[in-house]
Structure 1
Amino acid sequence: MQRRKRLPTGELGELEKVGSIPTTEEQVAELGMQLTQEKLSNIQKDVIINGLGSQVAQMKIEIMAMKGGGA
């Protein structure tokens, strides 16, 4: 929450933050950062999964070669 204090001249002063409730802008910024972190995390998972898939495919090829290219 924000408020304006009355100055000694009777005019309203600058906005100041009161309490610990974040503003809408602060909430949006925080959610944006969290979304970015989640996206990066998902990209890292995808890279790991693709790498493991490649290793499995390579191992299958090696096993087939050891068995004589068997069908």
Structure 2
Amino acid sequence: MAIEYKVRDQNGDLGEPIKAGSDPTTEEQISALGMQLTQEKLANMQKDAIINGLGEQLAQVKLEIMAMKGGGV
């Protein structure tokens, strides 16, 4: 929320409100959301890569255990 203030004119009357800060434009909001979406996608890709790697390790450990038991379940 932007802060508004009023400036007095030569007669001492208050003028129109002036915004001290401004709300982001639609283009700025879209750009910020695009950056956030990109970061979320990258985080999900990293998470998926970790999950896949752990799945591969688990499969390898299962194969090693089966081999130690003589190949039978």
Coarse TM-score class (shorter-chain normalised) = 0.7 to 0.9
Q: Which amino acid aligns with 2:59?
A: A
Note the residue ranges of structure 2 that are not aligned, 5 or more in a row.
1-19
What is residue 64 of structure 1 aligned with on the other side?
Answer: 66
Q: Structure 1: give runs of 5+ residues left out of the alignment.
A: 1-17
Q: Is 1:31 aligned with 2:33?
A: yes
Q: Larger radius of gyration, structure 1 or 2?
A: 2
Residue aligned with 1:70, SS: coil
- Alignment root-mean-square deviation, CA: 1.9
Give aligned-pair identity as a percent: 76
Q: Aligned ranges for residues 1-71 of structure 1 at < 5 Å?
A: 19-71=21-73
Stretches of 4+ moved more than 6 A in 1?
A: none
TM-score (norm 1): 0.72
Deviation at 1:20, TM superposition (A): 3.2
The count of corresponding residues between Structure 1 and Structure 2 is 56
- The alignment partner of 1:19 has SS state of coil
- The one-letter code of the counterpart of 1:45 is K
Report Cα offsets for 1:16-63 as digits up to 9, x if no partner: xx6231111100000000000000000000000000000000000000
